[in-house]
Structure formats: C-alpha cells, structure tokens
Structure 1
Amino acid sequence: MFYYVEILGTLPEMGKAEVEALAELGVGNVEKVDYLLVSGSVKHIGVFERLGLAHEYGLLLYEGDDIKDILDFAKGLEWRNIINGTFAVRRERMRNCMHEVNDLDKKIGGIIHSQGLRVNLSRPDTVVRVYCGNKIWLGIRIREFKGKEFEDRKADRRPFSRPIALPPRIARAMVNLTKATREVLDPFMGTGGMLIEAGLIGLKVYGLDIREDMVEGAKINLEYYGIRDYVVKVGDATKIEEVFPGKTFEAVATDPPYGNSTTLPMDRNELYKRSLESIHSVLEGRLAIAFPADFDARDVAESIGFKVLGRFYQRVHSSLSRYFYVMEV
C-alpha cells in the first residue's frame, strides 16, 4: 500500500525521521521526499495515526511530472471504488512547485463528478488531495491532524501546569522516534507531557521526577487525559535502576532541564552524563532526548556506548537552541 504524509514545516528533518520510524513499524519505508511531502509503501498504514509532526496522511494514488498524464490517470480510475459519499478536491501548491496547477483541482473534480459522484466543498465525506512540488501527487486523505487536538494538551491547558514543557506535537514525535510498541520511560517527566502523548497512542508509560510535587501533578494530568496504564515515582534520573530494580525498558523519551539551577542535584553537564549512563543501563532499544545546543551529547553518548542515529536542530528563541537526538544501545 502506497502512502503519503504531509509533514509540518517547523522541524522538517525531524518530521521526516518520524515518518521513517513509523513506516518501519508498519513494515514499510520512506521512498521519496518532495519538500514537505513524504511517500513510500507500508503494509499497515494505520500506524500513521500516531503522527505528531504532520498535517495529514493518506493513500497515494499517483505521482508524475506531466499534467496530461495525471488527468489521463484520473480518467482511467473507477472513483466509485475509492470515494465514499461526497467529495472535494483540495490542491496544495508547495514552495517548490514546478508545474502550472492553478485549475488542476477543478479538472480532476470534473472527472470525478462525471462518474456520478457528488461534490460537497464545505463538508465532504472524502477529500482528494493534489500536491505540487518537484512532482505532481494525487492521493486520498485518510486523516488530518488538526492543531486544536494538540493545543488542548499544551502545558497551560493541563490541570497541573508549569510554564516550561515541550509542545505536544514535538513530545509525540519524540515518542515515535523511539519506535516504541509496548512502553516508554521518561526519567525527567515533569508534569507528564511526554507520558500523556505516549499513553494516548496506547503505550504503557513509566516516569520519575526528583520532585514529589511534580510526580503528584503528573498523576493528575495523566488521569485528566484518560491515561490509566502508568507507573510514576519520585526518583533520580541518574539512578533509574534503583527506582525500578530489575526492570529494563523498551524505549526512553525525555527532555532534561536545560539551565544550571540551584534546584539541580549537580552541575548540568554532569547531570546529563550520569543520566545518560543510567538510561543506558536500563534501555533495550531507542532513546529520544533533547539537549541544549551548547552540550555536545554525541561524544558523551558514544563514550557511554550509545549509537547516535540522528539529531535535529531547533532554535527556540534568542537565548535557547537545542538538538533532539535519537540513539540506540
């Protein structure tokens, strides 16, 4: 089954890596990238329901370089076998569009309508998607990821709130980059944002934080968003094996504190090193972790025994830039 994913433009390389990780879970791969459109084949397309850094995903029908060819292809399709109910054709002209597609959506809509299917531009049952980039792409939308569903889980919307927390879309992507299928641990869980995203895609979640008020607050947040399969404890991220004796974890996704602070148990860089050592001792698979850009996590992680699979840069504001790392033991 061929798919397409339209990723967000905010962290495009990380978005592409998220699609790659999920495609592998769905027994497939990424074959092509055309600006913000990622495509490939996959056996279980439903795995993309987990996406975070994406606008939508769907079934890919066609890709090519010629307007006439895509129109001929559309004429040859039995659209009644593809479209349920009413339809609308939506065109997306990406920044790298190389073709004249101003009325292509109308022409394809006319072809589909000529086969007896009814148009509904405001609330269609099926959305046919046309993308223009280096190539022209035609697909059927399966799921659109609306911003509101993620915004409703932002830090300031949670019953127990603190101002510093990853945006839910990024937290979701970090969980997906671990390729977790059963469970995930966050040893710096704070108010539980990472665990909320992991729990909502069906993973059992484990968390710890050195502050008891954070642990109690994370419980409140997890319950509020309907997450029931969780274990959260007061504990030190540099001593995970003491908090969960004899336990190893399929995956770890976490966002440690960035600044030096009197609330930290030790120097920031020492905390990072010791927590990486502790994570390595309990991890079975992949780690997704964020660090400020002035910390060279690659050298430290590799000296501990991690293999760094990738990293993705983000400038947050004038005083903070960070990298998101993906590693495995």
Structure 2
Amino acid sequence: MLYVEILGNLPEMAQGEVRALLEMASPEFKIIERDYLFLAVKGDERAFPFLNRLGLAHEYGRLLFSAESLEELYSKAENTEWEKYIQGTFKVDRETMANCSHRVEDVERKLGALISKRGFKVNLSSPDTLIRVYCGKKLWVGVRERFFKAKPFNERKADQRPFYKPIALPPRVARAMVNLSRARREILDPFMGTGGILIEAGLMGLRAYGVDLRKDMVEGAKRNLEYYGVKDYVLKQGDATKLKELFPNKTFEAVATDPPYGSSATLGGRKREELYEKALSSIYEVLDGYLSIAFPAQFNAEKVAERIGFEVLEKYYQRVHSSLDRYFYVMRT
C-alpha cells in the first residue's frame, strides 16, 4: 500500500493526475480511498518512477496502516514490524488536515516513544526515516518516500525564465497536464508559447515537440528549454491547425496544450471558437492516445470534441480570476 498527499488548490485534478500515473505503472494500481487531501493507494514500489513525476502533490510514501481511533493506532503500531521500514534514525511527524476528527496533539510523542522502545533512535532535526501520521476522518500512518519541494517549481515560473511572457501555466499545473496525457516517451504541445509544458515534459525525460505561430515564441521557447537543461526537443514555427503538414508521417502518443484565451475578435487571424475547433481536428489527425487540454468555460469543448471523434474522459474546473473560468480536459482518440 502507498499514500499520496495532494495539493489543495486543484484537488480533483490532482487526484486525476495520481490516477493517470498509477494506471501507467500497472492496471492493478488504483486509489482506494480519499480522506480530504490524503489518498490511500493500492500499489507498490513499481509505482515510484511514475509518482516521481507528480506536479500537484506534496509527497508520497508507503502506507503502513489506518485506524479509526488513537487506541487502534497505538495497538496497530505495537504489532508493526518497524525494522522493515525504518533505516537509521527516525522522527514522527503529524499532519492535521482540515477534517481531522481526533485529538492528536500528543500523537508524535506517544508513537515516537512506542517505536523507540523497539531500539530505534529518534532524531528530530535530520532523521533518516520520517514516519507520517495524517489525521482526517481516519488516522493514517505511513513512511515518506519523497517530498516535492516548492523551490524547484518556483524557479521554473514564467518570470524566472530567460524568455518571459506573463501569461503562462504554473509549472505544477503544466506538469500535471503532461501526466494526464499519459505520455511515456514523447509529447506534443501545438500552442507551446514560452515552452512551460515542454520544460516539465523534458525534465521528466520525455522528447518534447512544440509548435507556435510566432517566430519569437519558437526562439524564446528554445532559450527556455536550454536554460533548464532540456536537450531532446523539436520546435517548429507553424500553425496548430495544420499539424499534419508540419509532421508528415508522424503520429504522437500524447498531446498536452493550453491554447490562447484571447477574447478579442481574432487569434492568429481567426475567431477563438473557430481556432479551437480547427486545432482539435488537427490534433485528432496526428494523435493516437491521450490529449490533455485547457479551454475557457464558455467554449463547449465536449460537444465539439465528441463530434470530431474524441472520447472525453475527464474535466476539471478552475476559476483563474474574475474574467476567466476554465476547464482542463482529458480526451482520447
């Protein structure tokens, strides 16, 4: 068993990202329970290489057990083979979630004392093993495998890149979009802009293909990819509605993209809805797999996509600001 603690800003999308990565790891792996921002997962270490790609998560680890009460927690802890999970020193750390329904103020001290009686040494400043207790509707005990620090994501925000444009997806969301596309080897972004989605894809070890109508964007995206150490990419100046011409005899396993939201009369010489529909048709022609895409809420993406031939699998709502509500969609050819 495993656990994942997801972020709270887009929790449904975060859960979908976890589900997609588990699906890629093994058809047997799945989320079996959610307790606020805590996901209990059926899976094992085979999922680790995929969960390491997570964007909308705080951490993941091995889930040891759950309990309905503190008494049950301590009883199960007494019968846990801690030597299987603790390497070197340890520390017990508590996460009190918004729906915590137990009095857990003393759980770190009591559980730590119980474990230390078994011969393990406590280190509160730099432990080798971090034991996590989550308090929600239930109590959950696990061992952290990986924590996703905010700093690396912050260093890849739009205003930190050599080529900067203010309108760009946050890196964590861009990464989640790549993961929702189930990309294993490569990905295409036909509206790449400054390259935010491709940066995240490249850092995961995927080959990044990008298209933009503007020459300055293509050159700027290249600068950004090189700056973050991404070397395996193909960038082209061209029209997202004519992908088959740009990539003759090429089929992509995954596409992730964030088309422009301009609400003025034209975008690249076309009305917004016309551009979206033509782009969806163009993507359909070169895709054999999954599409992760964002559209403003006013656009009836499901109706248009299904008419083209896509199967719409998932949609996640986000209110960005007073003038923009959008949905993130996952579709399949």
Query: Is the TM-score greater than 0.5?
Result: yes
**1:91 Cα shift?**
0.6
Q: Indicate if the aligned counterparts of 2:195 and 2:221 stay in contact, CA closer than 8 A.
A: yes
Aligned to 1:77: 80
Aligned to 2:239: 236
Aligned to 2:174: 171
**1:106 Cα shift?**
1.4
Measured in 2, the distance between the counterparts of 1:232 and 1:243 equals 10
- Residue of structure 1 aligned with 2:198, choices 195, 198, 216: 195
Measured in 1, the distance between the counterparts of 2:155 and 2:247 equals 32
Q: State the number of aligned residues.
A: 328
- Normalising by structure 1, we get a TM-score of 0.97
Q: Which runs of 5+ in 2 are unaligned?
A: none
**1:66 Cα shift?**
2.2
Q: Indicate if the aligned counterparts of 2:267 and 2:275 stay in contact, CA closer than 8 A.
A: no
Per the alignment, in what secondary structure is the counterpart of residue 31 of structure 1? Answer: strand
Aligned to 2:47: 45
Per the alignment, in what secondary structure is the counterpart of residue 202 of structure 2? Answer: helix
Aligned to 1:29: 30
Q: Indicate if the aligned counterparts of 2:208 and 2:233 stay in contact, CA closer than 8 A.
A: yes
Measured in 2, the distance between the counterparts of 1:208 and 1:157 equals 22
**1:221 Cα shift?**
0.8
Aligned to 1:223: 226
Amino acid in structure 2 at the alignment position of 1:22 = L
- Residue of structure 1 aligned with 2:277, choices 267, 273, 276: 273
Measured in 2, the distance between the counterparts of 1:180 and 1:106 equals 43
Percent of aligned pairs with the same amino acid: 59
**1:58 Cα shift?**
0.4
Q: Indicate if the aligned counterparts of 2:4 and 2:41 stay in contact, CA closer than 8 A.
A: no
Provide the aligned C-alpha RMSD in A.
1.1
Aligned to 1:100: 103
1:213 aligns with 2:247: no
**1:263 Cα shift?**
5.0
**1:45 Cα shift?**
2.4
Measured in 2, the distance between the counterparts of 1:45 and 1:310 equals 22
Q: Indicate if the aligned counterparts of 1:6 and 1:56 stay in contact, CA closer than 8 A.
A: yes
Measured in 2, the distance between the counterparts of 1:263 and 1:94 equals 44
Measured in 1, the distance between the counterparts of 2:54 and 2:156 equals 15
* Dislocated runs of 4+, deviation >4 Å: none
Q: Indicate if the aligned counterparts of 1:4 and 1:37 stay in contact, CA closer than 8 A.
A: yes
**1:208 Cα shift?**
0.4
Per the alignment, in what secondary structure is the counterpart of residue 30 of structure 1? Answer: strand
Measured in 1, the distance between the counterparts of 2:67 and 2:79 equals 15
Measured in 2, the distance between the counterparts of 1:245 and 1:263 equals 25
Measured in 1, the distance between the counterparts of 2:186 and 2:42 equals 26
Per the alignment, in what secondary structure is the counterpart of residue 325 of structure 2? Answer: strand
Amino acid in structure 2 at the alignment position of 1:289 = I
Per the alignment, in what secondary structure is the counterpart of residue 206 of structure 1? Answer: strand
**1:64 Cα shift?**
2.1
Q: Indicate if the aligned counterparts of 2:189 and 2:255 stay in contact, CA closer than 8 A.
A: yes
Aligned to 2:298: 294
Per the alignment, in what secondary structure is the counterpart of residue 118 of structure 2? Answer: coil
- Normalising by structure 2, we get a TM-score of 0.96
- Residue of structure 1 aligned with 2:310, choices 306, 310, 314: 306
Measured in 1, the distance between the counterparts of 2:332 and 2:108 equals 44
Measured in 2, the distance between the counterparts of 1:38 and 1:173 equals 16
Q: Indicate if the aligned counterparts of 2:256 and 2:291 stay in contact, CA closer than 8 A.
A: yes
Q: Indicate if the aligned counterparts of 1:207 and 1:232 stay in contact, CA closer than 8 A.
A: yes
Per the alignment, in what secondary structure is the counterpart of residue 30 of structure 2? Answer: coil
Q: Indicate if the aligned counterparts of 1:3 and 1:45 stay in contact, CA closer than 8 A.
A: no
